[in-house]
Amino acid sequence: MTAFNPTQRSKVKRLHERGRYDEESVFAILDAGLVAHIGYVIDGQPYVTPTAYWRRGRRLYWHGSSASRMLRTQKDGIPVCVTVSLLDGLVVARSGFHHSINYRAVMAFGRARIVEDATEKEAELDYFVERIYPGHTTTLRPNNSQELKATTLIAMEIEEASAKTRTGAPKDDEEDYALDIWAGVVPIRQVVGAIERDPRLKPGIALPAHLTRFADGARFDALLSESTEKLAKAAE
Amino acid sequence: MTAFNPTQRSKVKRLHERGRYDEESVFAILDAGLVAHIGYVIDGQPYVTPTAYWRRGRRLYWHGSSASRMLRTQKDGIPVCVTVSLLDGLVVARSGFHHSINYRAVMAFGRARIVEDATEKEAELDYFVERIYPGHTTTLRPNNSQELKATTLIAMEIEEASAKTRTGAPKDDEEDYALDIWAGVVPIRQVVGAIERDPRLKPGIALPAHLTRFADGARFDALLSESTEKLAKAAE
């Protein structure tokens, strides 16, 4: 099993038994998410920007952020922490103290840098679209060179990463199981709602077949995992 | 309208027309979320920790994080950025460039400090439970002093904050509206799933009435907004 080597930076400290450092655990969570929270530092002040991201091997990509200006002056990149978290449920215990949350989360560390290469940039932006909407890119009006120039693409090699998850029922104090108190889990999930047509859509244009995967009620994390896995297999 | 006074730190830079600085906009987003991403700096390295939070006026609270050890040595607190983001939909445009995401997000800045006062600590932890599960606290086995001691509570006065949102249909280039390409929005929402009983639940214990709000399919952001608003009104 290929794994990241955790240092003090990425080692899970609180509830460390929930931590994992193997690629499989880390990638499974990254591939199920759409929005990452990117942490960076300017003049000692931390900033956390939410933004859509994607993964290619051990590299993460995302669009330009407010750190872009800073990145332009730092040729070696800047240290960032990319965190992805998925909320899976509320854990209802018999005491307030043992209430918890079921979740999957990854913290990935590395140095962010701007991607200048036009070929890499174009390929990655297409990949970004295909990951969410498989089969979609070729149906769109192609990007023009002005748009490519206007888009800042940022990449980060994952130097270290940790995954942390909690699943399942509450873990109450042994003597509390005898109490007449309800306990269990309220699952929380991110799902697709009923699709909305652009009010300015030309009459007679039906939803294309490749977008019907966004069915009302479909789990969004499952859709992302599925299309990401297919793209990875196609690239092998 | 009470507003935060944005400085360079909190001013929305990219797509600044989406930014808001009034308390109403900022609080509405904070009150609809459960998990924040807390950014802090240790030795120049940024860290982003996902954690449940709650708001009381202009103050944010959350549980102990891996920054706790650092906080113990810094009596004046440490600078943090607390970011909350809610994903509302995928915006499907006629070109890759105009694809976007509908979202609500807040970045809040301040200094985090550990709450040592036992009374404040106990009251806030109860509030945390009541915010998610109204009417729940009095049905639980009460917290004991050991548990209160074992819980690190962190507070941050919001010095500055910005809200950023995107809603509605794609905004395509004017000439692209004539193309025969489908466009619209795929709504994404966080909902409650079918509630799961603890396998170790004592026989004969039914789901209490106050937990029936977690109905299969209920929007989680709406549930949080509703209970937070009720608690704020009750405190007036």
Question: Which pLDDT score is estimated for A235?
Answer: 83
CATH superfamily name and code, A16-189? Electron Transport, Fmn-binding Protein; Chain A (2.30.110.10)
Could you report the per-residue pLDDT of A89-119, keeping only the tens digit for each?
999 999 999 999 999 999 999 999 999 999 9
- Largest separation between any pair of C-alpha atoms in chain B: 68
Distance of CA A17 to the CA centre of its chain: 22
Region A122-134 average pLDDT = 96
* B48 shares contact with chain A (CB less than 8 Å): yes
Using CA atoms, how far apart are residues B11 and B18, in angstroms rounded to an integer? 11
Could you report the per-residue pLDDT of B40-96, keeping only the tens digit for each?
999 999 999 999 999 999 999 998 766 677 787 777 899 999 999 999 999 999 999
Minimal-distance CA residue of chain B relative to A49: B83
Using CA atoms, how far apart are residues A189 and A52, in angstroms rounded to an integer? 18
Please report the residues numbered 177 through 196 in chain A whose beta carbons come closer than 8 angstroms to any beta carbon of chain B: 177-196
The secondary structure of residue B204, as a DSSP letter, is T
- pLDDT classification of B193: cutoffs 50, 70, 90: very high
Minimal-distance CA residue of chain A relative to B214: A186
Minimal-distance CA residue of chain B relative to A195: B186
ipTM confidence score: 0.95
Using CA atoms, how far apart are residues B74 and B114, in angstroms rounded to an integer? 9
> Which residue in A66, A132, A193 is closest to B13 by CB distance?
A66
Is the Cβ pair A47, B39 closer than 8 Å?
A: yes
> Which residue in B184, B187, B189 is closest to A201 by CB distance?
B184
- pLDDT classification of A6: cutoffs 50, 70, 90: confident
Is the Cβ pair A103, B198 closer than 8 Å?
A: no
Q: 3-state secondary structure string, chain A?
A: CCECCCCCCCCCCCCHHHEECEHHHHHHHHCCCCEEEEEEEECCEEEEEEEEEEEECCEEEEECCCCHHHHHHCCCCEEEEEEEEEEEEEEECCEHHHCEEEEEEEEEEEEEEECCCHHHHHHHHHHHHHHHCCCCHHHCECCCHHHHHHCCEEEEECCEEEEEEECCCCCCCHHHHHCCCCCEEEEEEEEECCCEECCCCCCCCCCCHHHCCCCCCCEHHHHHHHHHHHHHHHHC
- In this predicted structure, the answer to whether residue A65 has a pLDDT above a threshold of 70 is no
Minimal-distance CA residue of chain A relative to B87: A35
Using CA atoms, how far apart are residues A174 and A15, in angstroms rounded to an integer? 19
Structure tokens at A137: 């890119």
* A169 shares contact with chain B (CB less than 8 Å): yes
Using CA atoms, how far apart are residues A70 and B224, in angstroms rounded to an integer? 37
* B209 shares contact with chain A (CB less than 8 Å): no
pLDDT higher for A92 or A75? A92
Minimal-distance CA residue of chain A relative to B140: A95
Beta bridge partners of B100: B91
Is the Cβ pair B191, A189 closer than 8 Å?
A: yes
Mutate to test the interface with A, among B95, B149, B166, B186 (most CBs of A within 10 A): B186
* B201 shares contact with chain A (CB less than 8 Å): yes
Could you report the per-residue pLDDT of A34-49, keeping only the tens digit for each?
999 999 999 999 999 9
> Which residue in A48, A101, A183 is closest to B107 by CB distance?
A48
Percent of chain B with pLDDT over 70: 98
**CB neighbourhood size of A204 (10 A):** 6
Smallest CA-to-CA distance from A30 within A60, A63, A62, A65 is with A60
Phi, psi (rounded to 5 degrees) for B5? -95, 105
| Beta strands at A184-192 and B196-197: parallel, antiparallel or unpaired | antiparallel
- In this predicted structure, the answer to whether residue B203 has a pLDDT above a threshold of 90 is yes
Structure tokens at B188: 């994404």
Q: Cα angle vertex A50, ends A48, A52, to 5°?
A: 140
Mutate to test the interface with A, among B11, B37, B60, B130 (most CBs of A within 10 A): B37
* B79 shares contact with chain A (CB less than 8 Å): yes
* A70 shares contact with chain B (CB less than 8 Å): no
Question: Which pLDDT score is estimated for B11?
Answer: 87
This prediction's pTM: 0.96
* A118 shares contact with chain B (CB less than 8 Å): no
Is the Cβ pair B191, A186 closer than 8 Å?
A: no
Q: Are B86 and B33 in contact (CB under 8 A)?
A: yes
